[in-house]
Amino acid sequence: MISKNDIVALIDKKGKKNLIRVEDIKKIKGIGVYNTSSLIGKGYGEIIEIMGKEYTILQPSIIDKIDTIERKAQIITPKDSAVIAFYCDVKSGDKIVEGGTGSGALTIVLAHLVQPDGKVFSYEKRRDFAEIAQKNIQKAGLERYVEIKSGDVTSKIDERNVDAVIFDIPNPWASIKNAYDALKPGGHFASYSPTTNQVENTVKELREHPFVGIKTLETLQREMIVGKGGVRPDFDMLGHTGYITFGRKILNSSFKY
């Protein structure tokens, strides 16, 4: 049953998604003026009609939350978020530091996964990015799990004993020492970078500190289309997004693998 203040996804017949908070009458972009309180008591999976157009009501999944964010900077895509979350073992209750909030796409993923007792501390130097990220996080109903901090992780990370430190910044190698200090023993480090030069510098710097399991992955994803003529891969595909470098903090630098 949908209650007041729930965040729900309204999805039209073409798959276009809208996240809305169940409150009162509001103007929803692409839908129109709607009294969102009329959703109270309805169930997920039902169909409603607004101004003559049908929508399914769904509980917003992690994918729905990413699909509906407003983008300013290039976002980290689901294929990469999935790998980051998995390899950093992100789970309910985790305390995570993010360097480079951007539009907040990865922040939303992390916040979604650490609910209800965890927290994401996300550093962003640029005020315009911080603002759009905050807006996106609120729309996803995740503001309680995120603290956006104005600052640069290459200068300072305030937190200690965190479960993971995750960077999407131009010069991740300059903040490896700070990441190490912030992490708990066994904590996970990840860094997302578009170029192989960034990968090289980051890996070399990680090797200078007590990190193990240092590894860089590139993930490619292709949709398969099932049509009348048969099955084929999609003609469209992202050729590249970024490389992701991982490592795990230990206490003794004699280990390298």
β-bridge pairing 183-193 and 162-167: parallel
Verify binding: residue 203, a copy of itself, rule CB under 8 A.
Answer: yes
Verify binding: residue 58, a copy of itself, rule CB under 8 A.
Answer: yes
Edge-to-edge strand list for the sheet holding 7-11: 17-21, 7-11, 53-58, 47-50
Verify binding: residue 200, a copy of itself, rule CB under 8 A.
Answer: yes
Verify binding: residue 49, a copy of itself, rule CB under 8 A.
Answer: no
**Among the listed residues 27, 49, 127, 224, the single contact to a copy of itself using CB under 8 A:** 224
| Comparison of 103 and 134: residue with beta carbon closer to a copy of itself | 103
Q: Tell me how far apart the alpha carbons of residues 171 and 164 are, in angstroms, rounded to a whole number.
A: 18
DSSP-derived secondary structure letter, 193: E
Q: 97: part of which helix (H) or strand (E)?
A: strand 95-99
| Comparison of 51 and 235: residue with beta carbon closer to a copy of itself | 235
Verify binding: residue 52, a copy of itself, rule CB under 8 A.
Answer: no
| Comparison of 156 and 184: residue with beta carbon closer to a copy of itself | 184
- Measured from the CB of residue 34, what is the shortest distance to a copy of itself in angstroms? 19
- Measured from the CB of residue 131, what is the shortest distance to a copy of itself in angstroms? 26
Cα R_g (the chain), whole angstroms: 20
- Measured from the CB of residue 208, what is the shortest distance to a copy of itself in angstroms? 13
* 197 exposure class (CB count in 10 Å sphere: 0-12, 13-18, 19+): exposed
| Comparison of 156 and 204: residue with beta carbon closer to a copy of itself | 204
Verify binding: residue 95, a copy of itself, rule CB under 8 A.
Answer: no
Considering CB under 8 A, how many residues would be counted as binding a copy of itself?
Answer: 82
DSSP H helices in 51-152 = 62-67, 78-87, 105-114, 127-139
